[in-house]
Amino acid sequence: MNTEIAGIIATYALTLIIAIPLGSYVAKMFKGEKTWLDFLAPVERFIYKLCGINPKEEMNWKQHLKALLTINLLWFVYAFFLLLFQDKLPLNPDGNPAQSPDLAFNTAISFLVNCNLQHYSGETGVTYFTQLFVITFLQFVSAATGIAAVVVVFKALKEKTTTKLGNFWVFLVKTNTRLLIPICIVVAVVLAFNGTPTSYAGKDTIVTMQGDTVGVSRGPAAGMIAIKHLGTNGGGWFGANSIHPLENPNYLTNMTEAVAQTIIPIAMVFALGFFIDRRRFSRIIFGVMTAGMILLMIPTLIAEIGGNPAIAKMGITQATGAMEGKEVRFGPAATAYWSTITTIISTGSVNGFHDSTMPMTGMMELVAMMTNCFYGGCGVGILNYFIFIIIAVFMSGLMVGRTPEFMGHKVEAKEIKIAALVALLSPFLILAGTALSSYILSHHIGTGWATPPANWLNNPGYHGFSEMLYEYTSSNANNGSGFEGLGDGNVFWNVSTGFVLILGRYLPILGPVAIAGIMAQKKYVPESAGTLRTDTVTFGVMTMAVIVIIAALSFFPALALGPIAEYFSLY
C-alpha cells in the first residue's frame, strides 16, 4: 500500500513539474510574446485567411460571447446530423447503426459542452468516422472554447480601463495549434507504444483461455484518448473508458492519462498570475483549490483502502482494500486518486467504476462536481472560481463598510446579480432534475416517451437515488462520469440531461465573461491602504468559506438522502 501511495504522490508531483512552466508558456502565448512554437504562425495565418478572420481586430466582451455562441451552435448542428446518418458514412468497418434523434441530440450537446456524457457504449454507439470527425473534433474545440473564454477574463483583469479584449478566433486557433495538438501528439505516442490501438481495421476475433470466441474492438483510438484527457473531456473510445485494457494498458499509461487531465487546469491558474503580473494572487487560488482537492481525496483514500465493512463482517480479509469495480493493475489507491481528480477537474473519465465505490467516495465525487471549481475544466475552472471571488469580495466589502473593489474596479449591483444567478444555477438544475426524475420514478410515469421507470435503476433505495442525483450533477458540471447502474439510454434522460448540459455549460461562461467585461469598462481605482487585498491567505479562506456555504451546503439535504444514508446503513 505504501507503494500505491508513493505512486499517487509521484503522479501529482510530475503534474506540478509540467503545469507550472506550462502556465508561464500559456501566458506568453496569449500575450503575444515569443515562444518556441512561433514557427506555427504561417499555419495560423492560413487558417485566418481561409476563414475570413482579421486577427488584429479587437473585440469587446459582447462580441466575444456572440462569436463563441454562434460557432458552438454551428458545431452542434454539424455533429447532430453526422451522428444521425453515421451508418451511411464511410469508416464504419463494424457496421454500427445510426443514432436515434434523441440520442444524437444528447451526444452532440454532450461533446459540444465538454461533458462527454455517453448514453451509448463507445465502440458500438459511434463509427470510426464520427469518433474522429465529431467526437475527437469536438473534444479539441470545446476545450479551446473554455480556454478562449478565460483569456478574455485575463485580459479584462490586466487592463485598467478598456473595451478591447483581444480576438476570440485568435484565442481559439492558438489554443489548438500551440497547446492542445502538440501535447496530444506526445500523449498519443506514449499510449500507442504501450498497446493502445491506432489502426483503422475492424474488430479482431480472438479465442480466450476459456475457449470463448470474442470480437475485440479497436480503431485509431490513441489520439482521441489523448485529447479526451488533455482537454478534460473524458469520453471513452471504448464503453468501459480508461478501465479498458486497450484504452489504459498499464500503470505508465495510467500515470500519463492522470497527468494529462490535470496539467492544463493547474497551468491556467498559474497562467493567470503570469498574465496579469500577480503571481501571489494565483498562488493563493492554487492553494485554495489544492486544499479542496486534499479534503476530498483523503476520505476517498481511507474509504477505498479500508475495504468494505459488509465483506469484513463475513470474515473475508481485504488485503488490497475495496476491489469491487477496480482493475488489479491499478489498485484502490490509484483508482481513488483518479476518481478525485476526474471529478474536481470535470474530466469524467474513469479507471474504475464509480457506481461500485464506497458510499463515502461516492459523496466526495458528488461534492467535487457540485463545487466544480477546484482546478476545474480547461478554462472554465477559473471562470467558476471567479464567481466565488466576486461574491467573496462583495461580502468582505460589506463586513468592513467599504464599496467592494477587485483589481482596481468597483464591484456593483449588476456584477453581484450576475454572480448570484450563476452560483444558484447549479443547485437549481441538479436538484430540480433529481426531483423530477424521482417523481416520475415514484409515480411509474414513462410509458411511450421513456423507458418504464422500473428499468431505470439497478439499485433500489439510497444508492438508486444517488444514481439519479449523480447523473444531473455530472451533466451540470460538464463532467460526464456516471453511476452506471442507471438506465439512461432513453428519451427522458437524453432530453432532460441535454438541457442541463446546455445551461450548465454556457451560463457559467457567459456570467464571468460579462462581469469581467463590465468591470473592465469602469474607471480604474488605484489601490490604497484601505483596498481589500485579494492575494492573502485570509481572503483565500474567505473564498473557501463562500464555496462551502454556497456550493456544498446547498446540496446537503440531497446528499443526506443518498450517499450519507447509504454510508450509515453500511457502517
Give domain limits for the chain: 2-277, 380-570
571 residues of the chain, pLDDT tens digit each: 678 899 999 999 999 999 999 999 999 999 999 999 999 999 999 999 999 999 999 999 999 999 999 999 999 999 999 999 999 999 999 999 999 999 999 999 999 999 999 999 889 999 999 999 999 999 999 999 999 999 999 999 998 899 999 999 999 999 999 999 999 999 999 999 999 999 999 998 888 888 888 888 999 999 999 999 999 999 999 999 999 999 999 999 999 999 999 999 999 999 999 999 999 999 999 999 999 999 999 999 999 999 898 888 888 888 888 999 999 999 999 999 999 999 999 999 999 999 999 999 999 999 999 999 999 999 999 999 999 999 999 998 888 777 788 998 999 999 999 999 999 999 999 999 999 999 888 776 554 555 567 678 888 789 999 999 999 999 999 999 999 888 888 899 999 999 999 999 999 999 999 999 999 999 998 877 777 888 999 999 999 999 998 877 899 999 999 999 999 998 8
C-alpha closest to that of 351 among 377, 327, 318, 315: 327
Coil, strand or helix at 406: strand
The span from the CA of 375 to the CA of 89, in Å, is 39
Residue 143 near residue 175, CB atoms below 8 Å: yes
Write down the pLDDT at residue 527: 78
Question: Amino acid identity of 395?
Answer: M
Long-range contacts of 72-77 (CB under 8 A, 24+ apart): 72/112, 72/145, 72/506, 75/112, 75/138, 75/141, 76/108, 76/109, 76/112
The span from the CA of 251 to the CA of 412, in Å, is 51
String of DSSP letters for 459-489: S-HHHHHHHHHHHHHHHHTT-----TTB---
The span from the CA of 162 to the CA of 148, in Å, is 18
Give how far the C-alpha of residue 197 lies from the chain's centroid of Cα atoms, to the nearest Å: 25
String of DSSP letters for 351-389: SB-GGGS-HHHHHHHHHHHHH--SS-STTHHHHHHHHHH
Secondary structure tally for the chain: helices H, strands E: 22, 4
Q: Which residues contact 508 (CB under 8 A, 6 or more apart)?
A: 380, 383, 384, 387, 422, 425
DSSP H or E segment with residue 410 = strand 409-410
Write down the pLDDT at residue 451: 59
Q: Give this prediction's pTM.
A: 0.95
Residue 356 near residue 323, CB atoms below 8 Å: no
Residue found by looking up cell 459542452 in the block: 113
Give how far the C-alpha of residue 411 lies from the chain's centroid of Cα atoms, to the nearest Å: 29
Integer angstrom CA distances of residue 376 from 65, 263, 338, 361: 21, 11, 14, 19
Residue 221 near residue 249, CB atoms below 8 Å: no
Write down the pLDDT at residue 386: 96
Residue 205 near residue 213, CB atoms below 8 Å: yes
Write down the pLDDT at residue 447: 46
Rg (CA), the chain: 23
Residue 232 near residue 261, CB atoms below 8 Å: yes
Residue found by looking up cell 475492424 in the block: 202
Identify the burial level of 274 via C-beta atoms within 10 angstroms of its C-beta, where 0-12 means exposed, 13-18 middle and 19 or more buried: buried
